[in-house]
Amino acid sequence: MDTLETRELRYFIAVAEELHFGRAAARLGMAQPPLSRAIQQLERRLRVSLLERDRRGVALTDAGEVLLHEGRAALDATAAAARRARRAGGADGPDGPRGRHRLVLAVKAAASHELLRKLLDVYAAEPDAADIEVLPCGICEQGEMLRDGRADVALMYTPFNSLAGFDSEELMTEGQIAILPAQHPLAARKALSLADVSDVPDLPLARWPSHGTYAPGPGPEIHDQTQLAQLIALGRTVAVVPDSARAWLWAEHAAVPLTDAPPVVTHIAWPAHSRSLALAGLIRTAAQL
231-263: per-residue pLDDT in tens? Answer: 999 999 999 999 998 988 999 999 999 999 999
The whole-angstrom separation of Cα 250 and Cα 187 is: 14
Q: What is the pLDDT of residue 111?
A: 74
**pTM for this prediction:** 0.73
Residues of the chain above pLDDT 90, percent? 68
> Average pLDDT for residues 70-95, to the nearest whole number?
77
pLDDT of residue 140: 82
Instruction: State the Cα–Cα distance between residues 268 and 187, nearest whole angstrom.
Output: 33
Contact criterion met (CB below 8 Å) for 238 and 179 = yes
Give the tens place of pLDDT for each residue, 161-183: 999 989 999 999 999 999 999 99
In the predicted model, what is the mean pLDDT of residues 6-14?
93
Quick: pLDDT tens for 11-56: 999 999 999 999 999 999 999 999 999 999 999 999 999 999 887 7
pLDDT, residue 235, reads 95
